[in-house]
Amino acid sequence: MKTDDLINAISADTQAARAPINWIVWGGVAVGVVLTALLFSMLLSVRPNFEAALGDWRFLMKWAFSLTLLTTAVALTMRLARPQWVSDTTLLVLLGAPLVLMAGIFAEMLTLPANYWLPTMVGDNALACVIYIPILSSLPLAAMIMALRQGAPSRPVVAGATAGLVAAGIAATFYATHCTNDSPMFLGAWYLLGTAIVTAAGALLGAKLLRW
Amino acid sequence: MRAAIGGDNAAYRALLQSLSGVLRAAVRRGFAQAGAPLNDVEDVVQETLLAMHLKRNTWDPTQPLGPWVRAIARHKLIDALRRRGRRIQIPIDSVIDTLSVQEDSSGVDRQDAERLVNGLSGRQREVVRAVSLEGQSIRQVAERMQMKEVAVRVALHRGLKTLGAQHRKDQEE
């Protein structure tokens, strides 16, 4: 086929274009939040002393971490969904969440005697955290990957990974209301491990599903 | 592009035509820099035009069109060079190709890029052929093939999507 002929065919194709990609990505986030809320309500429950926890800086730290992760990852995913190259320097905004976490760990070190550090970090249901973050992330990750398939990411693996971070951010925000381990030290160990698993899964899916 | 998204076919065609010339020159430079023979240039130009069309929702209308087009072309160029890297080359053939291409580059502009259209089958292929080669309107094709206009439009759109996905199948082979 000659290129001019292809141009004839393309310009005759009057099917409406898809919705702008940033709407689609927002849609993916919204669907992800709703699905995670449903999954959470089926599998887990909000901790009994939830309202008291809202007054504890350690608990709020968990949300500060997960929401920072979520917002930075959503912002990056928006950029990565378009074909324009996104530089490694831009990816550094992802350091936001770890910085929040480090500030929290530092504060915890100042207030907690050193011999409590290890038991605080290990917590009392670390395994549940490492398992539930990926489980709760699965549906929002699927929603985000489906949204990104409508885009044109020039870095599919990175886009998949940030989709994983969005999903983990949503999952961690919900899981934080169930989990009774509030220390940033616990967060730094187990939430991060759960997040890393989801991010790796996202990168793998990105490599498979986001090429175009 | 704004007119095209708004449904102005003539403006869209004019845009694609002028872009195809720019793209051809850019892709040829890219191939030459990579030391690759130039006989797949037209494939990359066509893949880029198709990707632009199918992914036009990733262009932000408040931004200039150029960087977005360049980004897609770059993506398709890298893709093609990578694909090419995996194929086994017969050196003498590619040298001959390069020479003949350099002698008469207008010939390569007119060259058919058959690889793309070979991926279509049945009705999609007929519709794409009729609209592209014979320049028939959707209505004419619908009458001749005894299809509804909507069905022709859908077949054309699906056909273009299949074309856009074609090179990925090549990669997986």
| Interface predicted TM-score (ipTM) of this complex, two decimals | 0.85
Which range in A1-5, A8-12, A155-159, B57-61 is most confidently predicted, on average pLDDT?
Answer: A155-159
Q: Which residue has the higher pLDDT, A6 or A196?
A: A196
pLDDT digits (tens, 9 = 90+) for A91-136: 999 999 999 999 999 999 999 888 888 888 888 888 999 999 999 9
B74 to chain A, any CB pair closer than 8 A? The answer is yes
Contacts of A112 (CB under 8 A, 6+ apart): A120, A183
* CB nearest A12 (choices: B58, B75, B138): B138
* CB nearest B20 (choices: A7, A9, A14): A7
- DSSP line for A148-190: HHTS--SSHHHHHHHHHHHHHHHHHHHHTTT-----HHHIIII
- Secondary structure letter of residue B138 according to DSSP: H
- DSSP line for B31-86: HHHTT--GGGHHHHHHHHHHHHHHTGGGS-TTS-HHHHHHHHHHHHHHHHHHHHHH
Mean pLDDT, chain A, whole residue set: 93
Q: What pLDDT shows up at residue B43?
A: 85
Provide the 10 A C-beta neighbour count for residue A51.
Answer: 9
Interface of A with B (CB under 8 A): 1-15, 17-22, 24, 81-85, 150-152, 154, 211-212
Q: What pLDDT shows up at residue B135?
A: 67
B85 to chain A, any CB pair closer than 8 A? The answer is no
pLDDT digits (tens, 9 = 90+) for B81-126: 887 775 544 444 444 444 444 434 444 444 555 556 666 777 777 7
Q: Could you tell me if A206 and A110 are in contact, meaning their C-beta atoms sit under 8 angstroms apart?
A: no
- DSSP line for chain A: --HHHHHHHHHH--PPPPPPHHHHHHHHHHHHHHHHHHHHHHH----TTHHHHTT-HHHHHHHHHHHHHHHHHHHHHHHHTSSS---HHHHGGGGHHHHHHHHHHHHHHHHS-GGGHHHHHH-S-HHHHHHHHHHHHHHHHHHHHHHHHTS--SSHHHHHHHHHHHHHHHHHHHHTTT-----HHHIIIIIHHHHHHHHHHHHHHHHHHS--
**Chain B residues lying within 8 Å of A5, measured CB to CB:** 132-133
Q: What pLDDT shows up at residue B89?
A: 47
Cα B122 from Cα B144, distance rounded (Å)? 15
Cα A107 from Cα A192, distance rounded (Å)? 18
pTM above 0.95, yes or no: no
Residue among A40, A13, A25 nearest B153 (CA): A13
Q: Which residue has the higher pLDDT, B131 or A72?
A: A72
**Is B128–A20 a contact, with Cβ atoms under 8 angstroms apart?**
no
